[in-house]
Amino acid sequence: MIMKYKTVIVDDHPIVISGISGLLSDLDNIEIVDKFESGIALLDYIEDNKVDLILMDIFLPVINGVDLCKTIKQKHPRIVIIGMSSQSERSLVMQFIQNGGNGYILKNASFDEFKECIYKAIEGEIVFSEEVKTIISQPLSEDLERIPGLSRRERDIALLLSQGKSTQEIADDLFLSFLTVQTHRRNILQKYKMKNVAELIAFLLKNNMLN
């Protein structure tokens, strides 16, 4: 009897689950043991069942794929995890891999790409579909990248600023001194070389750095 890789699919789109199932049914050493629409359900499942390979969407409700991957890998480092998404950013892919992910595939990949990636991943390689490769190799050249990123506290404050809160209101909301919030505001403005909060909020929203 041949050992088959026990495989689980996690995606909140039923059609995608069905599509991947169809695809994987062609591969004779892969056995789909279950499908989930959320990460929580998956976490429960892997505590009680043997799983070798997980194909997961990155944009999931409740827990996102990047965090989910980290959580799983901490307890079950041997499980091979491949991330998937429709569109992707460089930083997201890198974060996923840093959290132990074994590969990343864009959903517009061809069936052959999918199959090849899955095969290589279970053989121990870190795999990327074609478009992901171009994404992660390109944008380092432009200086558009290398945006420092807000700290958690800074993000909290930026978010409240975007809601029209004043320094005092933010201080009250976060139980901080007025002066502390003032310092954070200044640091954020300086970090991105913004003239005022209006420009800052526009910048953060355009770069999806808020929420």
114 binds, among a copy of itself, DNA, none (CB under 5 to 8 A by kind): a copy of itself
What single-letter amino acid sits at 25? Answer: S
Q: Exactly one of 6, 41, 43, 59 binds a copy of itself (CB under 8 A); which one? A: 59
Residue 105's nearest CA partner among 83, 122, 87 is: 83
Residue 160, SS3 per DSSP:
helix
By CB under 7 A, the residues from 169 to 198 that bind DNA are 174, 176-180, 182-187, 189, 195-197
| CB-nearer residue toward a copy of itself: 100 or 210 | 210
Task: Closer to a copy of itself by CB, 97 or 161: give it.
Answer: 161
Closest CA to 86 of 101, 106, 105, 112: 106
* SS3 readout for 128-153: ECHHHHHHHHCCCCCCCCCCCCCCHH
Closest to a copy of itself by CB, 21 or 98: 21
Indicate which single residue of 162, 180, 182, 187 sits in contact with a copy of itself (rule: CB under 8 A).
Answer: 162
Contact (CB, 8 A) for 82 and 57: no
Rounded-to-integer distance, Cα 100 and Cα 11, Å: 19
Nearer CB in complex with a copy of itself: 23/43: 23
Q: Which residues contact 149 (CB under 8 A, 6 or more apart)?
A: 209
Residues 3-42 vs a copy of itself: string with x where CB under 8 A?
---------xxxxxxxxx-xx-------------x-----
DSSP H helical segments within the chain, as ranges? 14-24, 39-48, 65-75, 90-98, 111-122, 130-137, 152-162, 167-174, 178-191, 197-206
| Smallest distance, DNA to C-beta of residue 201, A | 10
The contact set with a copy of itself (CB under 8 A) reads 12-20, 22-23, 37, 59, 86, 107-111, 114, 161-166, 194-202, 205-206
The contact set with DNA (CB under 7 A) reads 151-154, 166-168, 174, 176-180, 182-187, 189, 195-197
